[in-house]
Amino acid sequence: MNTPSHQHRAPPAAQQAPTSLFEARWSDQVHAWLRELGSTEVEATRLLPRVMERATAHPEELAGGKVQGVLRRAALDIFSAGLAQAALTGDTHATHRLLDAWQVEILRWCRWQCPRGVSHEDVAQDVMVAVLSRLHALREPERFRAWLWGVTWRSVQARKRKAWFWRWVPGDLERQESTGASPDDSYESSERSQAVQQALEALPPEHRQLLWLCYVEGQTRRELVDLLGIPEGTLNRRLTAARRAFEEVARRHGLDPEPSPTAPEVLHG
């Protein structure tokens, strides 16, 4: 039985042209971006077809002037997947190349997520350290972007929690970090700190203890869970209640939080 000829007919050239024209238009630029990320000439040449395949898999995403953004992200993701895979095998050079490739993106993410009073550069450093210590937990190297976004978000939240208390004592945290003073010495160093101390003393003991451990001593969530012997969800609820109680008492003492005068303005959408 003869097979209908249309089942073997190749797609018209006009239907194939857009992809080939697209590759011809952008191949050199993508190759240059791969080199900027730190790939070798051989790596860039090998990865280029995969980047193009990733970028053109969903043509609708290329509409509306989004071509460069889609291609840049595809280049970074494809380049990162190989490095992440190598890093998981213990290749420290690959780990450092991975961080170098993502440094600009991490800084950008932190700059737009950090509120007033939180240094995006400090948070970016936290993210770098977290990647070095937690990379072994990455399960899907090809999804490194999503994993890194989660690490960045958690690092921002940790800094925001820390910054919340020190907005009530402006300047003291910076003085502590620059002089190496203990938390107790720094905390007691200003008249405003004494007013904060009075507000803390007006709180129930469990609230006062929790705020001191978390914001003055700087203990982490994991450390507090271990120390207090409570689930993390319970800890979060108690911290929220303690913060609200402190804010009410502090305002009755004539205190208001003050944002850092050196902190950059950010847009909140």
Q: What is the dihedral of CA 36, 40, 46, 50, to 10 degrees?
A: -30
Cα separation, 122 vs 50, whole angstroms? 35
Provide CATH 1.10.10.10 ranges for the chain. Answer: 167-252
Task: Give the pLDDT band (50/70/90) at residue 113.
Answer: confident
Mean pLDDT for the stretch of residues 83-93:
96
Q: Which of the four pLDDT bands, split at 50, 70 and 90, describes residue 10? A: very low
The answer on pLDDT for 181 being more than 90 is no
Q: Could you give the percent of the chain with pLDDT greater than 90? A: 41
CATH topology of domain 167-252: Arc Repressor Mutant, subunit A (1.10.10)
Integer CA distances (angstroms), 183 to 79, 120, 137, 206, 219, in order:
43, 23, 33, 20, 12
Confidence of residue 126 (pLDDT cuts 50, 70, 90): very high
Average pLDDT over residues 103-118: 86
Q: Which amino acid is at 117?
A: G
- % of the chain with per-residue pLDDT over 70: 76
Closest CA to 204 of 237, 242, 255: 242
The pLDDT value recorded for residue 218 is 67
- The pLDDT of residue 195 is 75
Mean pLDDT confidence for 48-70: 86
Cα separation of 79 and 85, whole Å? Answer: 11
Question: pLDDT higher for 97 or 153?
Answer: 97
Q: What region, left, alpha or beta, does residue 229 occupy, with left being phi > 0 and alpha being psi -120 to 50 degrees? A: left
